[in-house]
Amino acid sequence: MSTATLTAGPLSARSASRGVTIEPRVSQRESASGPAAAHTRLHLTRRGRVVLTALVSVPLVAAALFFSLNGGGALAAGGSQAHFTYATVQNGDSLWNIAERIAPSSDPREVIADIVSLNQLSSTVVSPGQRIAIPLEYAR
C-alpha cells in the first residue's frame, strides 16, 4: 500500500506522476453564482442568545421597577394618612417664629429641621402667603 501526501501548494512532480489530482472544494452557493456572491448569515450561539437577552431585559426590568416605585415617591406616600397639617406664612414670619409658636417647649432648631425636611425646602427662607406643611407632632 502506498501513501500519498497532499500539500496546499501546486502539485509536485511526484504526485502528478501518480495521477493524484487535487480539486478545491466549492460549495453549491459559490459554484452557482461565483465566490463574490457568497453571503454569510449571522448564527447566534446559545451563549450569544443569553447575552443578547440579558442586554435587552436588564434595562427594561430596571425601568419597570423605577416607574412602579414612582421614583421612590410611592414608598414615602405609602397610601397612609397624612402626618402633617398646613400653615400659611404671614407677613414678617420666619421659620424660627413659626417654630416657637407651634412648639414652645421644643428646640426651635429641631422643629425648623423637621419643617425644612418635610417641605423639601432648599433654605430656611419663607415668603408671606407660602403654605408649608407642619408635622402633626407640633401642630395644636
Confidence of residue 10 (pLDDT cuts 50, 70, 90): low
- pTM for the complete prediction? 0.42
**Comparison of pLDDT for 74 and 81, the residue scoring more:** 81
Q: Is 81 helix (H, G, I), strand (E, B) or coil?
A: coil
Domains of the chain, residue spans: 81-135
Average pLDDT, the chain: 77
pLDDT of residue 132: 92
Architecture label for domain 81-135: Roll (3.10)
| Cβ-contact 121, 100 below 8 angstroms | no
pLDDT of residue 42: 80
Q: Where are the beta strands (DSSP E) in the chain?
A: 84-88, 131-135
What confidence tens digit (pLDDT) does each residue in 26-76 have?
555 555 555 555 677 888 899 999 999 999 999 988 888 887 876 555 445
Confidence of residue 24 (pLDDT cuts 50, 70, 90): low
